[in-house]
Amino acid sequence: MAKQGKSAGWAPGSTRHHGASDHTPTRRDTKINRLLGTKTHDTAPEAETAVLVSVPPRRQSEAQTSEYLDELAFLIETAGATATKRFVQRLEKPDIRTYVGEGKLEEIKAFVEHEGSSMVVFDDDLTPSQLRNLEAELKVKIVDRSLLILDIFALRAKSATARTQVELAQYQYLLPRLTGLWTHLDKQRGGVGMKGPGETEIETDRRIVRDRIAFLKEKLEDLDKQAHTQRKSRGGLVRVALVGYTNVGKSTLMNLLGKADVFAENKLFATVDATTRKIVLDQIPFLLSDTVGFIRKLPTKLIESFKSTLDEIREADLLLHVVDISHPGFEEQIQVVNDTLVDIGAADKPTLLVFNKIDQYQADDVQEDPFGEVKDAEDDGSAPRPPLAQLQATYMAKMHDPVVFVSAQQRTNIEELRELIVKRVSAIHQQRYPQQW
């Protein structure tokens, strides 16, 4: 069994056997693990090393490409491995056979063989056939973005609901890939006119996986019903949810505001389970929920299977959208969060933008040229960082509402944040219970 929290499992099952469904490992599971190459370790495995590969669109700036690769390296680290090398290839579009072009593939292969890397990680989702071809060429574990994120979620999920959700997403990821994995065996073994020896095997495997998916969906429905009843029993309290990109400081703020003890860590996806606390500020009671962070290219299957966790956001009366302003790509992160909110059906909710980590924000010296034009990009293609006051004005105009700049770590402007929350929550409360005011 892969060691929890340290070793990257990279395939369904890293938490499955002692996970959601009190499920004892069977020969079927061993088979599924073998299909995706999950290794079982009896002793602590050596630290795994990963080679990162990206094929950015032509329009993407150098700065953006390197920022995305930093994020991928951070994800790898969170999963317990170390990124040792990055390969970038600019193509019109990724190669349909091997994602990268032939020459680049040779380069990667030479590096992997020379350095003995444990895996090659792609900053995108691979098609089942790309996965198969790359595996055959590079002869090491091939990990795509969905598999990586799923693995981290599996390591982090604690509650029965979260574990069931992750397991469901893992099997949904596996299902279309079963064919691919077997077809290459067929090719090796099968001759012309020979019945593929994998045929029956594929069908059996598919049936096992489909049965499991159906079972997990049913289980989630039951858990959903329980959660729904629980939420109903909370009465008519105003509900506020912390949302935002991963690692922006949602849990740290939850701890500050709710005196809760929520796991916060400088790793991606520290929180996979939603936590809700009742809070009373200025005699106004409301519920505050901490939720799972969003990330670019979040696997759709994962979003779908995380329905019950996301209900916490969908049913909220007010969103506290937390932003890490010290991150160079914070504006894009805001966009990713807004797009994800649209995807999950939680767009157009009353929102308070909370810019966090101001202690780490450094404004650039904005240089003006003699004609008074402000320089609009840094030499590396990244946007200049305006002073906080200017950002505040821009975002207030955009949101048509106050925004707040805080440092959860240094506890700067937390009082101002509390006041704004009270103001917004009381307005909702007042609307809902006019007779009480």
DSSP 357: -
| Residue in 38, 118, 146, 246 binding ligand GTP, rule: CB under 6 A | 246
Stretch that binds ligand GTP, among 13-21, 244-252, 389-397, 422-430 (CB under 6 A): 244-252
Residues whose CB falls within 8 Å of the CB of residue 159, separated by 6 or more in sequence, listed in order: 273
DSSP 38: -
Residue nearest to ligand GTP (CB): 293
Q: Does 255 bind Mg ion (CB under 5 A)?
A: no
Distance CA 304, CA 287 (A): 25
Closest CB to Mg ion among residues 155, 209: 155
CB-based burial, 181-220: b 16+ in 10 Å, e otherwise: bbbeebeeeeeeeeeeebeebbeebbebbeebbebbeebb
Alpha helices in 293-406 (DSSP H): 300-305, 307-314, 330-343, 388-399
Q: Does 261 bind ligand GTP (CB under 6 A)?
A: no
- Applying the rule CB under 5 A, the residues between 188 and 207 that interact with Mg ion are none
Closest CB to ligand GTP among residues 53, 417: 417
Alpha helices in 259-320 (DSSP H): 300-305, 307-314
Neighbours of 120 (CB within 10 A): 26
Q: Does 248 bind ligand GTP (CB under 6 A)?
A: yes
Q: Does 33 bind ligand GTP (CB under 6 A)?
A: no
| Residue in 141, 357, 424, 429 binding ligand GTP, rule: CB under 6 A | 357
Q: Does 249 bind ligand GTP (CB under 6 A)?
A: yes
Q: Does 271 bind Mg ion (CB under 5 A)?
A: yes
Neighbours of 224 (CB within 10 A): 14
- Cβ 271 to Mg ion, closest distance in Å? 3
Q: Does 413 bind ligand GTP (CB under 6 A)?
A: no
Helix (H) or strand (E) holding 431: helix 414-432
Stretch that binds ligand GTP, among 14-22, 88-96, 124-132, 258-266 (CB under 6 A): 258-266
Closest CB to ligand GTP among residues 211, 265: 265
Residue 316 backbone phi and psi in degrees, to 5: -75, 150
- Cβ 347 to Mg ion, closest distance in Å? 22
- Cβ 87 to ligand GTP, closest distance in Å? 27
- Cβ 154 to ligand GTP, closest distance in Å? 15
- Choose among 39, 109, 121, 113: nearest CA to 76: 121
Residue nearest to Mg ion (CB): 271
Token pair 């709710």 in the structure block, residue: 258
Q: Does 407 bind ligand GTP (CB under 6 A)?
A: yes
Closest CB to ligand GTP among residues 14, 309: 309
Q: Does 270 bind Mg ion (CB under 5 A)?
A: yes
- Cβ 92 to ligand GTP, closest distance in Å? 34
CA 171 vs CA 13, 126, 176, 224, 301: distances in Å: 9, 16, 9, 19, 10
Edge-to-edge strand ranges of the sheet holding 284-290: 275-281, 284-290, 238-244, 318-324, 351-356, 404-405
| Residue in 120, 143, 166, 270 binding ligand GTP, rule: CB under 6 A | 270
Closest CB to ligand GTP among residues 182, 294: 294
Taken as a whole, the chain contains a residue count of: 437
Stretch that binds Mg ion, among 113-121, 142-150, 265-273, 340-348 (CB under 5 A): 265-273
- Choose among 173, 177, 104: nearest CA to 137: 104
| Residue in 9, 80, 94, 293 binding ligand GTP, rule: CB under 6 A | 293
Distance CA 207, CA 223 (A): 24
Residues in the interface with Mg ion (CB under 5 A) total: 4
Return residues touching ligand GTP (CB under 6 A): 244, 246-252, 264-266, 268-271, 293, 356-357, 359-360, 407-409
